[in-house]
Amino acid sequence: MIEALAAQYIIVHSLDGRAFYVNPKQIVSTSQAKGKLVVDAVQCVIYTTDGRIITIAETCESLKMRLEQLK
């Protein structure tokens, strides 16, 4: 049951290396992390349908490739 649920999500990593699941259907957009508002370790920012902003260690390019594989 857990494996079936996990198959619906993608794993991304927080800045301290912890893995967590994100529902790809809830991703509205992504953007490269730029400017003084984010820590240097942040590579990509994910915006979700429920208004959350998630900062991750992966690049947006690698995230987009993984999302394309799900289609």
Segments making up each domain of the chain, as ranges: 2-59
Contacts with 66 (C-beta within 8 Å, 6 or more apart), sequence order: 10
Over the stretch 6-57, which tens digit does the pLDDT of each residue have?
568 899 999 899 999 999 999 999 999 877 666 778 899 999 999 999 999 9
The average pLDDT across 48-69 equals 93
Q: For residue 1, what pLDDT is reported?
A: 46
Integer Cα distance of 46 and 30 in angstroms: 5
pLDDT of residue 40: 76
